[in-house]
């Protein structure tokens, strides 16, 4: 026969083990619910990003496809008429040349209508590249939907690997948007 005080202790231990098991099941169930909730949030963010990318791609699709014969012989960045992207470790320099507002050929490129007056250089964050390109008017794309991209010549030598990764990320983003990329110097 088991003494009564030992039976109470055994019952208490059994109750504690039962409570721990129930608590463990609840914690496991809560963990599974948290993982499922996190997965749903990640999926929603991915769908939102895909929807945004599709909308951005549609905006850029308004610009005609590039005509390579218009820019195949351009070998100097200063002669490039489409958007030119210079990538640094932390920023992107976007050079654009606004189209001449005067449709007449008289005086074009002269002192009265210099191209340098229409040139703009913007320094933007890498994540704002898509927005900046979408904001450009169609007349800023005389070659069609193509950009030139290069590593910044002023970039610190120690940061060259980071600059290269930023260039590759920008090229990937532009390709996802349907923009043709000409890398300078040609690799």
Structurally, the chain folds into a number of domains equal to: 2
Res 150 pLDDT > 80: yes
Distance CA 23, CA 148 (A): 61
Q: Are residues 112 and 138 in the same domain?
A: yes
* Model pLDDT, residue 35: 75
Range of the domain at 161: 68-184
Res 172 pLDDT > 90: yes
* Model pLDDT, residue 49: 85
Q: Are residues 100 and 164 in the same domain?
A: yes
Higher-confidence residue of 68 and 6: namely: 68
pTM of the shown model: 0.71
Q: Are residues 46 and 99 in the same domain?
A: no
Q: Are 133 and 167 in contact (CB under 8 A)?
A: no
For residue 78, the tally of other CB atoms under 10 A from its CB is 10
Q: Are 118 and 97 in contact (CB under 8 A)?
A: yes
Q: Are residues 51 and 74 in the same domain?
A: no
Q: Are 101 and 81 in contact (CB under 8 A)?
A: no
Range 115-140 average pLDDT: 90
Peptide bond into 126 cis (omega under 30): no
* Model pLDDT, residue 17: 65
What is the percent of the chain where pLDDT is above 70? 76
* Model pLDDT, residue 112: 67
Q: Is residue 137 classed as helix, strand or coil in its secondary structure?
A: coil
* Model pLDDT, residue 128: 95
Q: Are residues 176 and 107 in the same domain?
A: yes
* Torsion-angle region of 162 (φ positive above 0: left; ψ -120 to 50: alpha; else: beta): alpha
Tell which of 19, 34, 60 closes a domain.
60
Distance CA 3, CA 11 (A): 13
Q: Are residues 91 and 161 in the same domain?
A: yes
Q: Are residues 178 and 97 in the same domain?
A: yes
Q: Are residues 102 and 176 in the same domain?
A: yes
Q: Is residue 29 classed as helix, strand or coil in its secondary structure?
A: helix
Q: Are residues 132 and 158 in the same domain?
A: yes
Which residues make Cβ contacts (< 8 Å) with residue 110, sequence separation at least 6? none
């Amino acid at each position: 026969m088991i003494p009564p005080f030992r039976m109470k202790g055994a019952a208490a231990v059994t109750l504690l083990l039962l409570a721990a098991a129930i608590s463990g099941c609840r914690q496991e169930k809560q963990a599974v619910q948290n993982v499922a909730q996190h997965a749903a949030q990640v999926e929603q963010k991915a769908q939102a990003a895909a929807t945004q990318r599709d909308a951005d791609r549609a905006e850029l699709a308004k610009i005609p496809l590039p005509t390579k014969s218009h820019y195949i012989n351009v070998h100097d960045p200063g002669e490039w008429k489409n958007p030119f992207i210079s990538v640094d470790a932390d920023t992107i320099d976007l050079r654009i040349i606004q189209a001449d507002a005067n449709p007449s050929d008289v005086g074009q490129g002269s002192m009265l209508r210099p191209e340098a007056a229409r040139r703009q250089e913007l320094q933007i964050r890498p994540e704002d590249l898509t927005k900046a390109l979408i904001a450009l008017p169609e007349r800023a794309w005389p070659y069609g939907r193509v950009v030139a991209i290069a590593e910044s010549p002023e970039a610190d030598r120690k940061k060259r690997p980071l600059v290269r990764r930023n260039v590759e990320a920008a090229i990937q983003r532009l390709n996802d948007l349907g923009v043709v990329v000409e890398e300078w110097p040609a690799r």
